[in-house]
């Protein structure tokens, strides 16, 4: 036989084994075929799978393996050559593919592994980002809270509101259990619990400021964690089992206003801090996070600024209130001063009147008395009375003048007068008094002293009288020398008085008067006080001088008004003293008087006693006034016509009337207007009657108004016989009369 290619299948007793193999192969083939199906199914389902080629390969590999195993099934029994061929092909293919796959897998598996790693990495990253997002959100919220807090704090300028709001908002934002503010006391040695979040009455609790924990907090501008057991943190009585939450403390600089000049705050020299203590809720295991600490620090700074603004506002409010108070007080003082001045002026006005009335009575009646039949003794007595009362009247006038001097409203009565006779009269007045005290008085008038001068005669005489009077008063014995001369230009320059500036001119000369006495002298220390009002030298006062201390003060003012200078020299007590003064007077021929408001008054050489036939016109609306004036004038022999209104006046007035008396203080009748009309009617001076105004009060204003409208004189009413007589006399002689009453 030929070798048979058929292989007799072995069907030994291991037929069972063969059966199992057969079944296993079958299942393996099944599995191998189902795997790619599953793969395809799931890959189709999934969206992303980058390795399709690998899949195909793998699928092919698996399929072929399955095919191999499947074909294996036929080889258990007798199988033909084709089967064997197919089997071989399948196996070869499988081998090829599996080798290719194996080779491919070498490349692919690392890739697959790295995908996994990347996936893990990304997951981690995502988790991290999530965490950070959470953190940022928290921070943003914190920031929002800070802004809101700041807004709340800065929206009020009231200190308490600021602090209270801070604590409340902080408590809310950070969910604190307790929040407290400790302020330094005035002594800066202790911290006092001023505000808390939850406690109602925090006052009184103090801790000393120099505790180490407090120093620690104050020395840094960060929020510092402190122990819950420290005295500043023990705000509530703790129930035993509570685990206290973490406590943080931060300093709040209390800025003073003066600190704002420095640019970088709060690193200043300010030493005053308040302490803010914040406590987390107990038993909460919460911890202070960085952002929360930063929040607290920012808030503390904002609070500091807000507090300083509030302090500034308080300061300015206080200053304003103080100013208002002061204003009110000043206003009151001013009004009181004004009232006082008014009262004084009223008093002066009344005294003016009251004092002058009796004086006039005395003077008038004494002058009347003079005209009656008197024995020579009586005549002498009456003359002395008259002279003394004239002096007294002058004195009264001058006491009242002094107040006018103070006001600056006194003006000198400039007129031409006889300079020599002034001194002679002073000499005559002083001689009797001096001779009683056995003092000799020598008057020495320089040869070049002008006889007439222009100035205020009355006040010059008063000054001289005062100075000479003082010399007499304070000398017990010896002599008094009065020297009068014209001060030459060279000597004038020697005077370095503060307010004396002599100016030479052709119209004026400086009169120098020197009064030397050999009396008690004056202590050089007292010299400056001499001219002070009412200040009497003690040693002089003991001499019972009886003066009011006004004399020299008045003299000084008069001399100043006359643009001069007065001073006293003395070598000491017991060595006598020399009083000097210089005044400016005008030369009578060369001065221009047009600038002076007053017309020169010539002394009347004689007084007419009667005016027979003088035609006088009287205008007055008051019946009584009219009749008395008429009676007065008729008593003096005049031929009087009376009218009571301007119309009547204008009808009656004619060239025959020589003198017109008109009342100018009649309301409703404008006497001034009338005067103007008279001037217009009678243009030539010799045709016009003399116009005299009768008025109830004489002051500068009345006089000026009268002069302005062209009146020739002003008289104060009521008028005495004597007065009327002298007035008429003067008017007829000089056609002018202006004098003060």
Partner 1 sequence: MDAVAQWRNQWFDYTHYLRREGFLDDQFAQLKKLQDENSPDFVVEVVSLFFQDSEKLLNNMARALEQNVVDFKQVDACVHQFKGSSAWIGAMRLKNVCINFRNYCEAQNLEGCLGCLQQVRQECLALKNNLENLFRLEQQIVAAGGSIPVME
Strands 659-663 and 690-695: parallel
Q: By the criterion CB under 8 A, which residues form the site for partner 1? A: 357, 360-361, 364-365, 368, 621-625, 627-629, 631-632, 634-635, 663, 665, 667-668, 696, 717-718, 720-721
Which CB atom, from 569 or from 621, has the smaller least distance to partner 1?
A: 621
Degrees, nearest 5: CA angle 240-241-245: 100
Which CB atom, from 7 or from 349, has the smaller least distance to partner 1?
A: 349
Q: Any idea how long the chain is?
A: 741
Minimum CB–partner distance for residue 718 and partner 1 (Å): 5
Contact 521, 571 (CB under 8 A): yes
Residue 645, helix vs strand vs coil: coil
Binding residues for Cu cation: 65, 69
Which CB atom, from 293 or from 392, has the smaller least distance to partner 1?
A: 392
Report d(CA 276, CA 253) in Å as an integer: 11
Minimum CB–partner distance for residue 567 and partner 1 (Å): 44
Within its chain, how far is the Cα of 498 from the centroid? 35
Round the CA-based radius of gyration of the chain to a whole number and report it. Answer: 65
The stretches of 175-239 forming alpha helices (DSSP H) are: 212-219
Minimum CB–partner distance for residue 612 and partner 1 (Å): 13
- The region that residue 676 occupies, defined by phi over 0 for left and psi between -120 and 50 for alpha, beta otherwise, is alpha
Minimum CB–partner distance for residue 692 and partner 1 (Å): 16
Which CB atom, from 189 or from 361, has the smaller least distance to partner 1?
A: 361
Which CB atom, from 621 or from 670, has the smaller least distance to partner 1?
A: 621
Which CB atom, from 5 or from 372, has the smaller least distance to partner 1?
A: 372
Binding residues: 65, 69, 470-473, 517, 533, 548, 552
Report d(CA 293, CA 142) in Å as an integer: 11
Minimum CB–partner distance for residue 376 and partner 1 (Å): 22
Instruction: List Cβ neighbours of 377 (8 Å cut-off, separation of 6 or more).
Output: none
DSSP letters, 437-488, are TTEEEEEEE-TT--SEEEE-HHHHHHHHHHHHHHHHHT-SSEEEEEEEEEPP
Residue carrying the six token digits 């930063």: 294
Instruction: List Cβ neighbours of 475 (8 Å cut-off, separation of 6 or more).
Output: 437, 439, 517, 518, 519, 520, 576
Which CB atom, from 330 or from 349, has the smaller least distance to partner 1?
A: 349
Which CB atom, from 240 or from 667, has the smaller least distance to partner 1?
A: 667
CB atoms within 10 A of CB 604: 13
- The region that residue 546 occupies, defined by phi over 0 for left and psi between -120 and 50 for alpha, beta otherwise, is left
Binding residues for ADP: 470-473, 517, 533, 548, 552
Report d(CA 728, CA 723) in Å as an integer: 9
Which CB atom, from 183 or from 628, has the smaller least distance to partner 1?
A: 628
Minimum CB–partner distance for residue 665 and partner 1 (Å): 8
Report d(CA 339, CA 335) in Å as an integer: 6
Report d(CA 198, CA 541) in Å as an integer: 81
Strands 247-253 and 224-226: antiparallel
Name the token pair of 270. Answer: 């300010």
Name the token pair of 583. Answer: 């005044």
Which CB atom, from 333 or from 349, has the smaller least distance to partner 1?
A: 349
Indicate the angle between helix axes 376-407 and 457-473, nearest 10 degrees.
110
Minimum CB–partner distance for residue 368 and partner 1 (Å): 8
Which CB atom, from 134 or from 623, has the smaller least distance to partner 1?
A: 623
DSSP 625: H
Minimum CB–partner distance for residue 696 and partner 1 (Å): 7
Torsion of CA 645, 650, 651, 655, to 10 degrees: 130
Minimum CB–partner distance for residue 645 and partner 1 (Å): 14
Report d(CA 246, CA 278) in Å as an integer: 8
Minimum CB–partner distance for residue 371 and partner 1 (Å): 11
Minimum CB–partner distance for residue 609 and partner 1 (Å): 14
Contact 279, 176 (CB under 8 A): yes
């Amino acid at each position: 036989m030929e070798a048979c290619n058929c292989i007799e299948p072995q069907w030994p007793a291991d037929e069972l084994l063969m059966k199992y193999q057969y079944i296993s192969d079958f299942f393996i083939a099944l599995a191998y075929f189902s795997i790619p199906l599953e793969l395809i199914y799931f890959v189709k389902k999934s969206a992303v799978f980058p390795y399709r080629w690998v899949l195909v390969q793998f699928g092919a590999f698996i399929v072929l393996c399955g095919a191999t195993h499947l074909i294996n099934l036929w080889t258990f029994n007798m199988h033909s050559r084709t089967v064997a061929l197919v089997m071989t092909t399948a196996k070869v293919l499988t081998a090829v593919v599996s080798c290719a796959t194996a080779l491919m897998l070498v490349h692919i598996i690392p890739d697959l592994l790295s995908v996994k790693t990347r996936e893990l990495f990304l997951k981690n990253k995502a988790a991290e980002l999530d965490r950070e997002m959470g953190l940022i959100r928290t921070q943003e919220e914190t920031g929002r809270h800070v802004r809101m807090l700041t807004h709340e704090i800065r929206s009020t300028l009231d200190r308490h509101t600021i602090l209270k709001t801070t604590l409340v908002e902080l408590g809310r934002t950070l969910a604190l259990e307790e929040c407290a503010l400790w302020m330094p006391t005035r002594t800066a040695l202790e911290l006092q619990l001023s505000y808390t979040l939850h406690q109602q009455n925090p006052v009184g609790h103090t801790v000393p400021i120099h505790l180490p924990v407090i120093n620690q907090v104050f020395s840094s501008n960060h929020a510092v964690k402190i122990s819950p057991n420290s005295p500043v943190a023990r705000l509530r009585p703790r129930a035993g089992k509570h685990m206290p939450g973490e406590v943080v403390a931060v300093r709040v600089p209390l800025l003073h206003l003066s600190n704002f000049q420095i640019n970088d705050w709060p690193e200043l020299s300010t030493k005053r801090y308040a302490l803010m203590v914040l406590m987390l809720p107990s038993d909460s295991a919460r911890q202070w996070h960085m952002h929360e600490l930063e929040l607290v620090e920012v808030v503390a700074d904002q609070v500091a600024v807000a507090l300083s603004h509030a302090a500034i506002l308080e300061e300015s409010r206080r200053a304003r209130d103080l100013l208002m108070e002061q204003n009110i007080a000043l206003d009151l003082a001013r009004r009181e001063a004004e009232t006082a001045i008014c009262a004084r002026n009223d008093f002066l006005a009344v005294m003016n009147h009251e004092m002058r009335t009796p004086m006039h009575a005395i003077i008038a009646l004494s002058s009347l008395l003079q005209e009656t039949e008197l024995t020579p003794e009586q005549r002498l007595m009456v003359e002395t009375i008259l002279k003394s009362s004239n002096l007294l009247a002058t004195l009264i006038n001058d006491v009242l003048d002094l107040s006018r001097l103070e006001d600056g409203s006194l003006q000198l009565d400039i007129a031409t007068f006889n300079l020599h006779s002034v001194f002679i009269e002073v000499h005559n007045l002083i001689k009797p008094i001096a001779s009683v005290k056995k003092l000799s008085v020598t008057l020495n008038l320089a040869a070049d002293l002008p006889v007439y001068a222009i100035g205020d005669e009355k006040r010059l005489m008063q000054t001289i009288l005062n100075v000479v009077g003082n010399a007499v008063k304070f000398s017990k014995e010896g002599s008094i020398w009065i020297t009068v001369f014209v001060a030459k230009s060279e000597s004038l320059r020697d005077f370095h008085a503060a307010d004396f500036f002599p100016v030479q001119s052709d119209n004026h000369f400086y009169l120098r008067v020197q009064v030397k006495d050999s009396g008690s002298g004056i202590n050089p220390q007292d010299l400056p006080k001499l001219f002070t009002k009412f200040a009497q030298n003690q040693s002089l006062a003991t001499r019972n001088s009886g003066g009011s201390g006004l004399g020299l003060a008045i003299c000084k003012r008069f001399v100043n008004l006359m643009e001069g200078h007065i001073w006293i020299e003395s070598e000491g007590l017991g060595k006598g003293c020399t009083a000097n003064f210089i005044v400016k007077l005008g030369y009578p021929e060369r001065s221009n008087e047009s600038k002076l408001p007053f017309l020169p008054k010539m002394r009347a050489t004689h007084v007419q006693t009667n005016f027979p036939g003088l035609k006088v016109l009287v205008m007055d609306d008051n019946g009584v006034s009219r009749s008395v004036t008429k009676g007065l004038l008729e008593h003096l022999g005049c031929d009087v016509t009376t009218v009571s209104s301007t119309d009547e006046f204008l009808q009656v007035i004619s060239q025959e009337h020589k003198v017109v008396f008109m009342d100018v203080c009649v309301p409703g009748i404008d006497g001034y207007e009338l005067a103007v009309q008279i001037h217009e009617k009678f243009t030539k001076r010799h045709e016009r009657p003399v116009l005299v105004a009768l008025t109830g009060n004489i002051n500068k204003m009345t006089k000026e108004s009268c002069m302005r409208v062209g009146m020739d004189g002003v008289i104060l009413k009521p008028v005495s016989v004597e007065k009327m007589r002298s007035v008429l006399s003067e008017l007829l002689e000089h056609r002018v009369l202006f004098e003060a009453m």
